[in-house]
Structure 1
Amino acid sequence: MSGETVRKQTPPRVPPNLDDYDKTYEAFSWARARTKLYGLPGGRGLNIAYEAVDRHVASGHGEAVALRCVGRDDSVTTVTYRELARSTARFAHVLRTLGVGRGDRVVTLLGRCPELYTVVLGTLKNTSVLCPLFSAFGPDPVAQRLRLSNARVLVTTAELYRRKVAARRAEFDDLEHVLIVGEGAEELPGTVALDALTAYASDTFTIPPTSPDDMALLHFTSGTTGTPKGAVHVHGAAVAHYATAHYALDLHPDDVYWCTADPGWVTGMSYGIVAPLMHGITLVVDEGDYDARRWYRILAEQRVSVWYTAPTALRMLMRTTPRTGPYDLPASFDLSALRFIASVGEPLNPEAVLWGRDVLGLPVHDNWWQTETGAIMIANFAACDIRPGSMGRPLPGVEAAVLRRGEDGRAEVVDGRVTLLQEPDAEGELALRPGWPSMFRGYLNDEERSRAAFAGGWYLTGDLVRRDADGWYWFVGRADDVIKSAGHLIGPFEVESALMEHPAVAEAGVIGRPDPVAGNIVKAFVSLRPGFEPTTATRQELLAFARRRLGPAVAPREIAFDQHLPHTRSGKVMRRLLRARELGLPEGDISTLEGTEGSA
């Protein structure tokens, strides 16, 4: 099947064209979006868990499949919305029996198992606060987040507790209860088997009145300096979760949806649990690890129609199936149900967009958001022609701007004011006008860093972008990653994207290396595709290729080969760590480093 696409692209359903996007944008209001949700019966407020589970049962869709769980052994089990409503009610009763109530923090340290979904939604039903942790964290980052969150309850497995928590249990003054999923609690002093607590709990639960401003979720995000920051999100975020999943991911009630992000991160929570369940669709849950053949098989056998994944995952698939063909691996699976692919976690290189088009028959729709925004803010919509490499356009209800930046690369703030850049393609810091429902309400117990995130009536994202004449946004880099070389400000993403268009390059990370003449020169760290060798000839070819594509002022002056570039758990190349290692500086917080236990 060399040179042919696997399937034809299914025509997008909404919005049908760019003109309708503009009309929708003008007519949209968050107040109108709120009317799409039910709210708690009797006008008692808004609760995320009710919107994700109970309202579907109340409206007669309780027998619809909510979760389709694929085990490591490829066995498949299903959970209906009615079953999920009952299990989450039982867990809410467990919390109530333990004296855990409104605002108390419940931390999860679990993989993608069915019990995770019960705990997440049962916690929210109880008006407690859910704080998810990535199960691959090492003991130090787990301990740091348990302390910072003031956790009262930890839900985990015996293995994870033994490896990552038990030896340091005495450090956590607020931690009263450790609930063990599965077997092994009897061998671990100070823990209780979750099954033993839920066995006799009632499977009906009346959700207490919940204000949209009540704290619901606590997500930790690492800063460039200092301890991790706990971003606070509220139940009212449900309005944004629901609306953005419709506009950015094109979700419809008959979809089978797969989000590959781990629920220990904000993407896996907002769009791996909350948003799809609010839309009443079937959610695929894979307990296994990444494997190209396994992923294609899940897409085919589970008839996935909407797939939300990460650029890193796409690049790994690209290694097994280059865009030049033949497309033997994906072509051996029936992917005809797949109609929409989206990506998030880091900027999507143009090559990945074109790979999706040529190999899977569907382009990949990039979108942009942050832990602090709580929901997708900028996206390439289903009906809009994709501009490969672009973040897309702001969602309805989202007001974005480009702010003039100062010498440090961040937005220039003078007497509390900022300057908006109106001219096309001017580079500056991306800012958002506060007011969307899923905006974080600050960093937990950290007023100074909370205040620093806002200026002049805008939320400052720390991302540098440019906006073209048609309103599409293009990622330039993080403000602290921008390279100033011989008077030029160079975004590493642009250099990385150009390098990745060379057939030898699998991935690239770019930093600025201090230079006594230029201030900094651009240095690239490159991992090669199979079949290419890290020779002097390869290095010279890549340098010449980049110089041709980018010009001498922007192209890298140096290239180092590294088949093991450091990544965050969400798949981003850690430029900060590359820079620290290059310059012999302290590595700082590596708790989000992929492939290690990490340390805080």
Structure 2
Amino acid sequence: MGLTKNIAYTCTRRPCEAGHADEQAFKWIHNDLTEQIFTFQELDTASNRMANVLQRLGINKGQCVSIYLPKSVELLNSFFGILKNEAISCILFSTFGESALYDRLSDSRTRILITRKSLLKKVQKIEGELNELQAILVTDLETHQDDYILSLPQLLADVPDSFAFSAEIEPETPAFIQYTSGSTGKPKGALHVHGGLDTMLASFKEVFEIQPDECFWCTADPAWITGLVYGVISPLALLTNQIQFGGNFSAESWLEILQREQVNVWYTAPTALRMLMQEEAGLFKQYDYSALNRMYSVGEPLNPEVYYWGKKVFGCEVYDNWFQSETGSIMITNKPGRAVKPGSMGQPLSYIQAMILDDDMHPLPVRQQGNLCLKKGWGSMFRTYINKEDLYQEKFNGDIYISGDLAYRDEEGYFWYVSRADDVINTAGHLVGPFEVESALLEIEEIVDVAVIGVPDPILHEKIIAFLCLRKDCEWSRALELKCRVNISNKVSTTATPQEYHLVDSIPKNKSGKILRRVLKARYEGKDPGDLSTMEEK
């Protein structure tokens, strides 16, 4: 196998070598809607300096550097600086709490953590347990706090602007880790390699068909596979005219950006569209979307009613697509030139072979629900789960990748999502493992047992519901609910906070002690729970 291009080289150095050094790499829009232009030369230089800092701190090839920052220019510079060192990047959501942080930082054996002062307290609560963490670099700390908590600006001021690294490397060189939640245990880190770049770029071209004069906006955070592959890597590598918004969600801000920047191609999520649907109809009439040519959606199913609303309000086609942290790039999609079937994931890309199989890996006929599977072989496929090779092997049957999603295929080859095959909850596009939430709740002394499920929700796709057994001498109260919410936010994530809490006398479990979530879900929805013969007797 030949060599491949380093992702950081392709996105920062190669555009400069090709004569685009002084051209716009991206336009950064701040929360107050002020903007800055960043050129490819500025991006290359800033990531060179970051690479020099990491090299001086002793970071070697294959070691992990984690980024715990909100969406920011510093995040992008850090990501490419890590890859120039041939180290492994791991971008973490800035909403993560201390337990979620610990699980990921310890599992990835992170050597250096890059964060900011507002997030430092969460890190300091667990730093004593992270034996391999050598230093914390703080992006907005003026001077070093000690030999462990260091000022990144001070470090950057003392390194050169140039950095020598190999443009061509072995394709299997690790590049980044994307964590996805497990249904019954710790989160899993999907490892991706530099050799996946070609597939990422091929999918970007085939799905979005962006023309040189079009403006592209992907709203996803780079901690999410969508935001990293389609908001950062692909548009930079392909010299796409793009904007980046570092602010929080606001209907007015988003609509203003669409109008002011004359966005032509917009990539977002169904939850964002459902949130926009809650706004007064008059708000949308105040803005001009005539430049918008097409919209794309990912992260969860795009409901037909949201599809029709988006098409009506924004006056263009809405294309849903499907992929996972593990697949590394889009696998199945709606796209220009194909008729859209509202509610469908679309059809596989030209180089992807998708199929619906039963549990014995036999093909199922059209319209019959089964396991959504893919034939191995695309470049952006993850290479392992960090420290969980056994779980990685469980995702494959020979040369067939088992996605963990249930779906069916119609007579015209369109795929239709049904649900997850496991207990993972898809809330607002984030996959939340019930185990993490349950663990955080069990830390509260008033709670003796707990179970967490996901149920359909018109805004979030799935909302999180917690069933609690309290100690006999305790009662439910607003104060206890607040205690639950705060602990989950601090330990797991704000996105993992249940929308509802229900008190129960006992949690239904089978004879081996596994929670029967289907029983809880059926009871919540007022449906027949089905066969209860495996339930343990009280």
State the Cα distance separating 1:188 from its structure 2 match: 6.4
State the Cα distance separating 1:456 from its structure 2 match: 3.6
1:156 to 98, 109, 115: 115
Distance 1:62 1:524, change over 3 A: closer
2:24 to 65, 68, 71: 65
Query: Aligned residue for 1:455?
Result: 397
Query: Aligned residue for 2:331?
Result: 377
Query: Aligned residue for 2:302?
Result: 348
Distance 1:288 1:400, change over 3 A: same
Query: Aligned residue for 1:392?
Result: 346
* CA distance in 2: counterparts of 1:269 and 1:45, whole angstroms: 19
Query: Aligned residue for 1:530?
Result: none
1:419 to 362, 372, 377: 362
* CA distance in 1: counterparts of 2:248 and 2:410, whole angstroms: 39
* Residue 591 in structure 1 maps to residue 534 in structure 2: no
Residues 142, 154 of structure 2: 8 Å contact kept: no
Query: Aligned residue for 2:315?
Result: 361
Query: Aligned residue for 1:16?
Result: none
* CA distance in 1: counterparts of 2:498 and 2:163, whole angstroms: 38
Residues 220, 230 of structure 1: 8 Å contact kept: yes
State the Cα distance separating 1:288 from its structure 2 match: 1.4
Residues 158, 184 of structure 1: 8 Å contact kept: no
| SS class of match (2:169) | coil
Paired residues for 1:271-286 under 5 Å: 271-286=230-245
1:229 to 188, 191, 196: 188
Query: Aligned residue for 1:573?
Result: 462
2:263 partner amino acid: V
Q: Deviations over 1:230-286 (max 9, x none)?
A: 000000111111111111122333332211111122111111211111111133222
Q: Deviations over 1:42-88 (max 9, x none)?
A: x8632111111211111111222112111122211110111111111
* CA distance in 1: counterparts of 2:146 and 2:262, whole angstroms: 41
TM-score normalised per structure 1: 0.72
Q: Which runs of 5+ in 2 are unaligned?
A: 428-453, 471-483, 500-538
Of 302-311 and 369-378, deviating more is 302-311
Q: Deviations over 1:480-515 (max 9, x none)?
A: 369xxxxxxxxx99xx9xxxxxxxxxxxxxxxxxxx
2:100 partner amino acid: P
Residues 354, 363 of structure 1: 8 Å contact kept: no
| SS class of match (1:51) | helix
State the Cα distance separating 1:113 from its structure 2 match: 1.4
Identical residues among aligned pairs (%): 38
* Residue 287 in structure 1 maps to residue 246 in structure 2: yes
* CA distance in 2: counterparts of 1:465 and 1:441, whole angstroms: 24
Paired residues for 1:148-227 under 5 Å: 148-161=107-120, 163-183=121-141, 186-187=144-145, 190-208=148-166, 209-227=168-186
Residues 254, 281 of structure 1: 8 Å contact kept: no
Query: Aligned residue for 2:419?
Result: 477
Residues 143, 154 of structure 2: 8 Å contact kept: no
Residues 158, 188 of structure 1: 8 Å contact kept: no
* CA distance in 1: counterparts of 2:72 and 2:62, whole angstroms: 25
Residues 467, 473 of structure 1: 8 Å contact kept: yes
* CA distance in 2: counterparts of 1:526 and 1:46, whole angstroms: 43
Distance 1:59 1:453, change over 3 A: same
* CA distance in 2: counterparts of 1:390 and 1:199, whole angstroms: 51
* CA distance in 2: counterparts of 1:259 and 1:97, whole angstroms: 34
State the Cα distance separating 1:374 from its structure 2 match: 0.6
TM-score normalised per structure 2: 0.80
Residues 95, 493 of structure 2: 8 Å contact kept: no
Query: Aligned residue for 1:511?
Result: none
Q: Which runs of 5+ in 1 are unaligned?
A: 1-30, 32-42, 322-326, 405-411, 483-491, 497-522, 528-564, 566-570
Distance 1:133 1:185, change over 3 A: farther
| SS class of match (2:408) | strand
Q: Deviations over 1:283-302 (max 9, x none)?
A: 32222111111100011112
Q: Could you say what the CA RMSD is over the residues aligned between the two structures, in angstroms? A: 2.8
Query: Aligned residue for 1:18?
Result: none
* CA distance in 1: counterparts of 2:367 and 2:330, whole angstroms: 22
1:398 partner amino acid: I
Residues 144, 154 of structure 2: 8 Å contact kept: no
| SS class of match (1:261) | coil
1:334 partner amino acid: D
Paired residues for 1:12-411 under 5 Å: 45-161=4-120, 163-183=121-141, 186-187=144-145, 190-208=148-166, 209-321=168-280, 327-404=281-358
| SS class of match (1:69) | strand
Residues 33, 253 of structure 2: 8 Å contact kept: no
| SS class of match (2:492) | coil
| SS class of match (2:171) | coil
Residues 342, 367 of structure 1: 8 Å contact kept: yes
